[in-house]
Amino acid sequence: MERLVLDLETKRSFNEVGGAHNKAKLGVSVVGVYHYQGDRFVAYREDRFAELTQALKAAEEIVGFNLIGFDWPVLAAELGDWVYKLPTLDLMFEAQKALGHRISLDSLAQATLGASKLGSGLDALEYYRVGNWEALERYCLEDVKLTRDLYEYAKKHGHLLYKKGQRSAMIPMSFAESPFGKIFHDAAKTQGSVKMVYGSKERLVDVHSFDGVYIRGYCHLRREQLTFRLDRVESAEAVPSSQPLF
């Protein structure tokens, strides 16, 4: 299994592109990746995006921090919307789900690992502007290392630690496979439908994509496109293509 840990840096700030809703305009300066196969850290600049694309498409799991809310929208603008379908494990999403609010990579790393980031995203932008690629790549890959170490800690101990000011918490982390994973993988390949119980409600979902964590598709109960988390599915069964939906 090829597992990757990923983080990226941008060319522009939110202020420069008119706000957080314009992530597609931020641009990508460098993508840092840790490859479990070969135990190697690689910094991919634009001239190596074809190589990066090959690595991403071959991965069976990609770990990161805020991939869903930030890295994927930014990277999709460069490489294409197929990025959204990558098998994703987002540590920030997992932590936010448990705590009920957003947290930073630095706060998790300090409390859990006793380590800190090398600087801030503003530093990375300045490195790009002045062409200091060595510092930029070092900054990006250090975030990748922190994310990898948090992931490894969570796998070993089943939790991460958080502390900010007077607030502290132990955040449960579980990466166990769901017994329903194969059902959604198969449905996504054929654009098939699945009957499931989710949020104590019986639903019929036409599955459009599944990345190992998030199920995206048309929910007939709500009559709209929705995203569901695999670990909250209470039961699931595939609907044969010959079987009427209603």
For the stretch 3-49, pLDDT in tens is 999 999 999 999 999 999 999 999 999 999 999 999 999 999 999 99
At residue 246, the pLDDT reads 45
160 and 71 belong to one structural domain: yes
**pLDDT over 70, % of the chain:** 96
At residue 157, the pLDDT reads 85
Which range marks the domain in which residue 108 is found? 3-172
122 and 156 belong to one structural domain: yes
pTM of the model: 0.72
Residues 35-58: b if buried by 16+ CB within 10 A, e if exposed = eeeeeebbbbeeeebeebbebbee
199-219: per-residue pLDDT in tens?
A: 889 999 999 998 777 899 999
Residue 246 in any domain: the answer is: no
At residue 121, the pLDDT reads 86
At residue 5, the pLDDT reads 98
Residue 245 in any domain: the answer is: no
**Domain at 234, CATH number:** 2.30.30.100
123 and 161 belong to one structural domain: yes
Tell me how crowded residue 184 is: count the other CB atoms within 10 A of its CB.
Answer: 28
Residue 86 in any domain: the answer is: yes
Residue 231 in any domain: the answer is: yes
Q: Which ranges of the chain have pLDDT less than 50?
A: 245-246
* Domain count of the fold of the chain: 2
Final residue in a domain of this structure, among 172, 201, 219? 172
**Domain at 67, CATH number:** 3.30.420.10
Final residue in a domain of this structure, among 172, 192, 216? 172
34 and 140 belong to one structural domain: yes
User: Angle CA(33)–CA(214)–CA(22) in degrees, nearest 5?
Assistant: 65
122 and 207 belong to one structural domain: no
DSSP per-residue letters across 169-228:
EEEE---PPPTTHHHHHHHHHHT-EEEEEETTEEEEEEEEEE-SSEEEEEETTTTEEEEE
Residue 164 in any domain: the answer is: yes
Residue 145 in any domain: the answer is: yes
At residue 243, the pLDDT reads 54
